Structures are given as structure tokens and as C-alpha cells.
């Protein structure tokens, strides 16, 4: 199914995986990924990634079907 997605949704899915792994680190180790990388949560890069992860989640909620090509023939 991933091969049928447009590049926007592929990037969105990748960002959601990154966000999910970050929350796993927060839950298990009480450490944020950006803190472990030495950037801190207030760093501009961290804030941009947080916003992109949130936007990716919103895009996957309802409009993920907009560019997935259906392999089944139309009737």
C-alpha cells in the first residue's frame, strides 16, 4: 500500500513513525529525542519537527485516501 501513496503521504507516514518513536522514548526513558540529540525541546529544529509531526497526523486522519491509487477496477 505504501508504494501507491503519493510522496506527501509517504513523508507524513515517516514523520508519524519518528513521532511515535519519540513518544516511546518519553514513555520509557523520560527523555525526548531532541534532548538526547543535544538540541533541546526549545530548539527551532525540534519545534519545526513537532509541528510537522502534528500536521502529518492531521493529514492522515481524513485525507489519506485522497492520493492512494486504488488497484481495483471501477464499476
- This prediction has a pTM of 0.67
Measured CA to CA, the distance from residue 73 to residue 12 in angstroms comes to 27
pLDDT, greater one: 57 or 62 = 57
Could you state, in order of their start, the residue ranges of all structural domains in the chain? 2-66
- Alpha helices in 1-75, H assignment, sequence order: 7-29, 33-36, 44-62
Q: Sorting pLDDT into bands at 50, 70 and 90, what band is 3?
A: low
Amino acid at each position: 500500500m505504501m508504494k501507491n501513496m503519493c510522496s506527501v503521504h509517504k513523508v507524513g507516514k515517516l514523520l508519524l513513525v519518528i513521532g511515535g518513536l519519540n513518544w516511546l522514548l518519553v514513555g520509557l526513558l523520560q527523555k525526548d529525542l531532541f534532548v538526547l540529540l543535544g538540541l533541546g525541546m526549545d530548539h527551532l529544529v525540534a519545534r519545526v519537527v513537532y509541528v510537522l509531526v502534528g500536521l502529518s497526523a492531521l493529514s492522515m486522519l481524513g485525507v489519506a485516501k485522497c492520493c492512494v491509487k486504488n488497484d481495483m477496477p471501477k464499476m
